[in-house]
């Protein structure tokens, strides 16, 4: 695996977005893109793009642009998307099921191995061919099957307890959908998803547009 450089979290958060746009460009048959063209497409300034990509030694050439496929592959490798990850979903409610059913994750190397539940009526059934297992068996299962990521799809109230158990069992990362920031040891990575944050930004823009329409 290639040696990784320490990069600011803000840049890391932008890389998946660069990668998505590069993938779409590649699909459309685009081979090269300049930072200016990329800027118009992705909505960051050209200087921001050059600065971000310079973090990795710079893939562009003056007056030539970035190689779409080359940059896509480099970013994929930097993010660690050139390997597989085994995930367990905590909670077989609608959200847990939505993630279990989302084929996208499998295609991109994030394999849902199992779903864990406390509800005895759900334990033993299969969702999208994935077995729903007893929460009581979590620690042993994670250890034996070398699970990388725990996806928390529980209520806010039990999320921290579930996170503690996942960390104890030895997962390397937690993807948390419960609407609370969970606390974990520093050797475990965490991504807290706050869906409502996006909704609240959306509310701002709706009001802003309405204000602008009034003053026209």
Q: Specify the residue, 4 or 54, whose C-beta has the smaller distance to its own copies.
A: 4
Q: Specify the residue, 60 or 150, whose C-beta has the smaller distance to its own copies.
A: 150
The nearest distance, CB 52 to its own copies, in angstroms, is: 14
Q: Which residue ranges make up the site for its own copies (CB under 8 A)?
A: 1, 3-4, 6, 12-13, 15-17, 19-20, 78-81, 85, 93-95, 97-98, 101, 104-105, 108, 110, 148-149, 172-173, 175, 179, 181, 187-191, 193-211, 213
The nearest distance, CB 35 to its own copies, in angstroms, is: 19
Evaluate whether 124 touches 151 at the Cβ level (below 8 Å): no
The nearest distance, CB 141 to its own copies, in angstroms, is: 19
Most distant CA atoms of the chain, gap in Å: 64
Q: Specify the residue, 123 or 148, whose C-beta has the smaller distance to its own copies.
A: 148
Nearest-angstrom CA–CA distance, 18 and 38: 9
Nearest-angstrom CA–CA distance, 53 and 67: 12
Q: Which residues contact 76 (CB under 8 A, 6 or more apart)?
A: 19, 82
The nearest distance, CB 212 to its own copies, in angstroms, is: 8
Nearest-angstrom CA–CA distance, 165 and 136: 10
Evaluate whether 196 touches 188 at the Cβ level (below 8 Å): no
Q: Specify the residue, 64 or 199, whose C-beta has the smaller distance to its own copies.
A: 199
Query: Other CB atoms closer than 10 Å to residue 202's CB: what's the count?
Result: 10
The nearest distance, CB 63 to its own copies, in angstroms, is: 29
Q: Specify the residue, 64 or 204, whose C-beta has the smaller distance to its own copies.
A: 204
φ/ψ (deg, to 5) at 108: -105, 15
């Amino acid at each position: 695996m290639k040696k990784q450089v320490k990069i600011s979290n803000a840049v890391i958060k932008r890389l998946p977005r660069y990668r998505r746009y590069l993938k779409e460009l590649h699909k459309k048959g685009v081979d090269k893109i300049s930072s200016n063209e990329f800027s118009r497409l992705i909505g960051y300034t050209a200087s921001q793009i050059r600065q971000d990509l310079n973090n990795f030694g710079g893939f562009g050439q003056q007056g030539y642009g970035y190689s779409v496929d080359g940059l896509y592959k480099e970013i994929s490798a930097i993010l660690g998307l050139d390997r597989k990850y085994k995930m367990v979903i905590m909670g077989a409610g609608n959200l847990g099921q939505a993630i279990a059913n989302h084929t996208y994750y499998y295609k991109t190397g994030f394999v849902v191995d199992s779903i864990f539940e406390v509800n005895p009526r759900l334990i033993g059934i299969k969702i999208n061919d994935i077995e729903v297992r007893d929460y009581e068996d979590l620690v042993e299962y994670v250890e034996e099957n070398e699970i990388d990521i725990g996806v928390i799809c529980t209520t806010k109230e039990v999320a921290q307890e579930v996170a503690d158990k996942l960390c104890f069992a030895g997962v390397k990362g937690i993807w948390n959908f419960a609407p609370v920031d969970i606390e974990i040891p520093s050797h475990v990575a965490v991504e807290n998803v706050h869906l409502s944050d996006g909704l609240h930004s959306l509310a701002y823009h709706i009001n802003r547009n309405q204000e602008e329409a009034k003053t026209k």
